[in-house]
Structure 1
Amino acid sequence: MPQTHIHPDVDRVLLTEQQIADRLAELGRQIAEDYADEPPIMVGVLKGAVMVMADLARATDLSVEMDWMAVSSYGSGTKSSGVVRILKDLGADISNRHVLIVEDIIDSGLTLKWLLANLRSRGPKSVEIATLLRKPDAAKVEIDVRYLGFDIPNEFVIGYGLDYAETYRNLPYVGVLKRSVYEG
């Protein structure tokens, strides 16, 4: 990626637009194969998963239904608040259906652990997770991820749906945010 296309607040690009597209295409093929007989309802976690959900759904050669949830455990900073709130619940009934949670990133895993328990309490056939990114060194709980894009270092990343204070989501790559932006 030419240096001129990198946002000035980005220290370095961790994953290029092409690397992301290639990996989501692979995951899409795997999901289509795994759910060929009974497509899942894909549940995107707002707001970060918008890009991942759109591209993953297009890469999955199935007639999938999509729905959205918004849960929050983050404020405007860089650390989890530890409190999970549902800001937007599902519109669809997931009982007796396969559910595929689509995430942008798994950090501590605390929010996702709560979300898994919440969705499993609604009587689905199965609940699996697809995430673009996972930070193994930041994990506070173990989360079983069926479809993983990339393991990344425990750095503050932005782009491709990931934000800092609701900005940078539109960058087409995943980059490491300069410390001066959030510590300054």
Structure 2
Amino acid sequence: MSIVKIKDKMFETSIPEAEIKERVKALAEQISKDMEGRNPLLLAVLNGSFIFAADLMREMTIPCEISFVKLASYEGTTSTGKIKEVIGINENLTGRTVIIVEDIVESGLTIKRMIESLGTRNPESVHICTLLLKPERLKASLDIEYVAFSIPNDFILGYGLDYDQQGRNLKDIYTIRED
């Protein structure tokens, strides 16, 4: 188990790279099976999901497309609770199968808002895929079909997730140490 210092905080490995790769491959296989015969649009939520979305897409065995949306609700280690759309969706979603690809679902409020927004664009269906889920933090009722890992309510970083924009490049996922 390695320990890294990012800015003023210490973090220790909680999910190693090999385990992440294994789960991403399994999710990609499940999505490919479930979406056989379709051409789903992966809608990756920036910035945190870009590594996960890329790895997931490369493991998928069916035709698919990708686009990005940027929603912000974090400052430092705390969610502000206010969600602001920074970069919108430019694709025509009418009749499309959309898979929202998130790095982490905590309260679920960001995803809920996104689903409501997508619904006005007439997609055939909307599915949720997340790298990490914090079940004890959920405030919104969501059908999250694809979850790589359920985790406790700890602050984490690495594999695209950050602490004040630092640590996204780490290959493992790290949990904050409360010493």
On whether the aligned pair clears a TM of 0.5, the verdict is yes
Match of 1:69 in 2: 69
Match of 1:12 in 2: 12
Match of 1:166 in 2: 165
In the alignment, residue 7 of structure 1 is paired with which amino acid?
V
TM-score normalised by structure 2 residue count:
0.93
Structure 2, unaligned runs of 5 or more: none
Q: Is the 8 A contact 2:4 2:12 kept in 1?
A: no
Question: Which secondary structure does the structure 1 equivalent of 2:24 belong to?
Answer: helix
Deviation for aligned residue 1:148: 0.6
Match of 2:101 in 1: 102
In the alignment, residue 93 of structure 2 is paired with which amino acid?
I
Provide the aligned C-alpha RMSD in A.
Answer: 1.4
Distance (Å, rounded) in 2 between the aligned partners of 1:11 and 1:84: 27
Structure 1, unaligned runs of 5 or more: none
Distance (Å, rounded) in 2 between the aligned partners of 1:26 and 1:51: 16
Deviation for aligned residue 1:13: 1.2
Match of 1:47 in 2: 47
Q: Which has the higher strand share?
A: 2
Deviation for aligned residue 1:82: 2.0
Distance (Å, rounded) in 2 between the aligned partners of 1:179 and 1:28: 34
Question: Which secondary structure does the structure 2 equivalent of 1:93 belong to?
Answer: coil
Question: Which secondary structure does the structure 1 equivalent of 2:149 belong to?
Answer: strand
Distance (Å, rounded) in 2 between the aligned partners of 1:160 and 1:53: 11
1:1-184 aligned at under 5 Å gives the runs 3=2, 6-9=3-6, 10-74=10-74, 76-179=75-178
Identity over the aligned pairs, expressed in percent? 36
Question: Which secondary structure does the structure 2 equivalent of 1:19 belong to?
Answer: helix
**Count of residues paired in the alignment:** 176
Deviation for aligned residue 1:12: 2.1
Distance (Å, rounded) in 1 between the aligned partners of 2:158 and 2:176: 9
TM-score normalised by structure 1 residue count:
0.90
Runs of 4+ in 1 over 4 A off after TM superposition: none
Deviation for aligned residue 1:86: 1.2
In the alignment, residue 127 of structure 2 is paired with which amino acid?
E
Distance (Å, rounded) in 2 between the aligned partners of 1:64 and 1:179: 41
Question: Which secondary structure does the structure 1 equivalent of 2:154 belong to?
Answer: coil
